């Protein structure tokens, strides 16, 4: 059984400040830097070991271990937060699409946690672990990125794969050594995914940067780096989930397997699969419903097979002798504990405060 201590990712800006003038960063933020340690303990974990049970110890802002015992719920919370933070565009490993709803790798990133390729390999492992544990995660990936993962299972960069994106860049070696008129090639710093009819840029504004003799080697390097990151992520993912199982899904279906459905939460189904006789959930907004789900189950999205697939079922327990405390939860058993408050409005206010507080596993 493995044990991991959690913290938070440090942003690119604070990473630089911490290395030069650490006391310029508030004490609370410096405490949160321990999240970076997840990248330094990643190497000893073999694939078989990573598939096994992992127990997580949460530390609060005072560096004191929280009292919650990990029966599975704290691990799910940890995985959710690691993936949410790690895939955030703020840290430079991934970029957002124009509507900021989907992610794809940032191959132009300057690594601050070691080899970028190795980091993407580890992210692939984390996503594979989430699938293995039937945990839907917050990040959603661009379909062209998932298509590249699914439609090439090579373990190293294969230039032949470029033909499925753009026939004119089929032979990168020829581009690197080309001495003719580059105007005839009609190349720019972008790649067209013909499978999905989408274009994505190799550098900011790349669709408007023409490939010429002076920048041809940079172009070849950018394309190669992109496929290296895809190959690294795929390698980590398929160590956890066999490629033959992943290949059963289309890119859109794999998106659902990884991140779940994004449509409105079905409250009627939720109620029918909940062990409780009354509810105030139907009065909540979609954001509040998602927060409640995460508060109780560590995941903000319903399970792929519906609420009835929760094991154990989503359960609400009223603490008859408690009237003055906030609602709490036991995420390892999907249990919401409510104080005995007859007034529905007061109970709703306390519940909303609890799910929005983002406190740890010691909330009372």
- Could you tell me which residues are beta bridge partners of residue 55? 3
Residue with tokens 């306390």: 350
The residues annotated with a catalytic role in the active site are 332
Beta-carbon contacts of 232 under 8 Å, excluding residues fewer than 6 positions away, are 117, 118, 120, 121, 124
Residue with tokens 């790798």: 105
Distance CA 252, CA 144 (A): 10
How many residues are listed for the chain in this entry?
A: 364
Distance CA 265, CA 307 (A): 10
Residue with tokens 């990151």: 229
Distance CA 249, CA 326 (A): 43
- Packing angle of the helix pair 251-259, 116-132 (nearest 10 deg): 70
């Amino acid at each position: 059984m493995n044990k991991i201590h959690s913290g938070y990712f440090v942003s690119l800006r604070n990473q630089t400040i911490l290395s030069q003038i650490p006391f310029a960063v508030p004490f609370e933020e410096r405490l949160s830097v321990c999240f970076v340690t997840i990248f330094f303990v990643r190497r000893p974990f073999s694939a078989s070991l990573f598939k096994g049970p992992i127990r997580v110890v949460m530390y609060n802002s005072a560096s004191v271990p929280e009292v919650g015992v990990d029966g599975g719920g704290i691990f799910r919370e940890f995985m959710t937060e690691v993936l949410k933070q790690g895939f955030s565009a703020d840290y430079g490993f991934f970029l957002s699409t124009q509507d900021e709803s989907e992610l794809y790798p940032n191959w132009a990133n300057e690594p601050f946690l070691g080899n970028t390729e190795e980091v993407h390999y580890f992210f692939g492992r984390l996503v594979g672990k989430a699938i293995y544990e039937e945990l839907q995660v917050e990040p959603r990936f661009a379909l062209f990125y998932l298509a590249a993962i699914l439609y090439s299972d090579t373990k190293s960069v294969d230039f032949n794969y470029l033909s499925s994106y753009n026939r004119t860049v089929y032979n990168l070696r020829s581009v690197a050594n080309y001495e003719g008129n580059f105007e005839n090639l009609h190349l720019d710093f972008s790649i067209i995914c013909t499978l999905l009819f989408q274009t994505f840029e190799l550098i900011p504004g790349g669709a408007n940067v023409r490939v010429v003799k002076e920048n041809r080697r940079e172009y070849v390097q950018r394309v190669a780096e992109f496929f290296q990151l895809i190959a690294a992520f795929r390698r980590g993912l398929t160590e956890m989930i066999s490629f033959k199982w992943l290949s059963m899904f289309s890119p859109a279906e794999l998106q659902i397997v990884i991140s779940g459905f994004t449509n409105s939460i079905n409250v009627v189904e939720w109620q029918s699969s909940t062990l409780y006789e009354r509810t105030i959930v139907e009065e909540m907004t979609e954001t509040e419903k998602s927060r409640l789900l995460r508060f109780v189950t560590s995941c903000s999205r319903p399970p792929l097979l519906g609420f009835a697939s929760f094991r154990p079922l989503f359960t609400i327990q009223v603490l008859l002798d408690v009237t003055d405390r906030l609602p709490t939860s036991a995420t390892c058993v999907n249990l919401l504990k409510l104080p005995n408050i007859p007034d529905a409005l007061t109970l709703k206010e306390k519940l909303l405060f609890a799910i929005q507080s983002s406190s740890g596993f010691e909330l009372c």
